[in-house]
Amino acid sequence: MQVATKHEKILEYIENLEIGHKISVRRIARELGVSEGTAYRAIKDGENQGLVSTVERVGTVRIEKKHRSKIERLTFAEVVNIVDGQVLGGSAGLHKTLNRFLIGAMKLEAMIRYVEPGQLMIVGNRDNAHRISLERGAAVLITGGFDATEEVKQLADQLELPVISCSYDTFTVAAMINRAIYDRLIKKEILLVEDMLNPEQPPVFLKLDDRVESFHTSVRETKHSRYPVVDDKGRLHGMVTAKDVVGHAFDERIERVMTKNPITVTPKTSLATAAHEMVWEGIELLPVVNQQHLLLGVISRQDVIKSLQYMQKQPQMGETINDLVFKGFDEVKEKNGELSFQGMVAPQMTDPLGNLSTGVLTTLITEAAHRRLRKQHRGDMVTDNLTLYTLKPVQLERKLLIRPQVIELGRRVGKVEVEVSEDGHVVAKALVTAQLIER
């Protein structure tokens, strides 16, 4: 039987609160009989898990935990933090989710036709627009640092629709909210370990006091040959495999034969990282634990690879830094049939002196190496080592030719020599070693 810790009891308490309920460190400490430090740490953990949102000068509010499919949708509390805003009224509605935002840069009569419930109206100091937006079910974000009338504040409290004020102009605010949504779309594409865990299928495990005989019984029942080992509280202590029990008597305790302190991942670990860990360490099964080291589940190498393959077939919704840096480079085939990449050094790619940034150069080289390896290896890969030699600086708006050449390709490792030249002169050379993840 697992005994919940104080931290876990507080998280469970928070999860059972109604959406929109205000939370305070002092109240939780008093009601649950814990220290304020323990309550504070649990609330911050709840914020990381998406259970609560903290707004300056307002407090912490219980919000609905968003599924990955709706991760890009923002609550009004999150909008306040994004724009460094101040809540003027309607704080009871901070937990609500906005469907879309609308910029009130038109005549009032025309604007009314577009205002709908669940929207966020972004507008300046137009009192009538504030009032009408609230009456039609939309929250209000006042730009330019302006205040709202007492009538509007009272209406906001009555309807539980936030009225927020911030010092930025309308264009900047819209750009900041768009950027936040765009960042979340990129996160949405990145598969995490938690996306693979099935809460309805608890992991099969053995306990420290179990005997080797229990291992063999589990193998016959589940057809698996690897199991996590936990204590009476459900905390992970080791892993036991068929190789570990060879030569041991049936009455030997599992604790004596298991591998202690195994490599673990958390629900928020990316699947790519988990896959790299498995390939690098030669592991077939990884236990998944929370911050208290309680066993939540296990993931197999085969399942991880299948999930990564599935994601690669899905339409992309956002661009990462690597995509943006390599966007201006085209694939070209040279006379000898080798693959190269050609592109121009854009202003955003330079350092304060106007030369190509070392960070951007590194990204160009690693991306070119990976794209070259994918021509021969259809799996995934992670850069393991990069040795870079820069021979001369490259100025703004110069055309670069990047030549990646595979010098070694095995089952687990690929090595690529990359040469970067400008106008026929070599400006940088690098050796890229990548860990390959087989499919």
Residues in the chain, overall count: 439
Are 252 and 212 a contacting pair, CB within 8 Å? Answer: yes
Dump the DSSP string for 54-112.
EETTTEEEE-PPPPGGGTTPPBHHHHHHHTT-EEEE-GGGTTSBPSEEEE--S-HHHHH
- Segment 254-288, tens digit of pLDDT: 999 999 989 999 988 888 788 877 877 778 889 99
pLDDT given at position 179: 81
Domain ranges for the chain: 6-62, 76-189, 194-310, 321-437
What is the b/e burial string over 154-174, where b = at least 16 CB atoms within 10 angstroms of the residue's CB?
Answer: ebbbebbbbbbbbebebeebb
Residue 347 tokens read as 């202003």
Q: Strand, coil or helix: what is 381?
A: strand
The verdict on domain 6-62 having CATH code 1.10.10.10 is yes
pLDDT given at position 2: 46
Distance CA 56, CA 28 (A): 19
The verdict on domain 321-437 having CATH code 3.30.930.10 is no
**Which residues neighbour 375 within 8 Å (Cβ) at sequence distance 6 or greater?**
339
pLDDT given at position 383: 86
pLDDT given at position 45: 85
Fold (topology level) of 76-189: 3.40.1390
The segments of the chain whose pLDDT lies below 50 read: 1-2, 69, 314-318
- Segment 67-95, tens digit of pLDDT: 554 555 788 988 998 999 999 999 989 98
Distance CA 280, CA 413 (A): 10
Residue 155 tokens read as 């209406």
pLDDT given at position 4: 62
CB-CB neighbours of 310 under 10 Å: 10
Distance CA 290, CA 91 (A): 32
pLDDT given at position 185: 64
**Best CA proximity match to 402, nearest among 382, 422, 373:** 422
pLDDT given at position 186: 60
> With left for phi above 0 and alpha for psi between -120 and 50, is residue 46 left, alpha or beta?
alpha
pLDDT given at position 59: 78
pLDDT given at position 189: 61
Fold (topology level) of 194-310: CBS-domain (3.10.580)
pLDDT given at position 227: 94
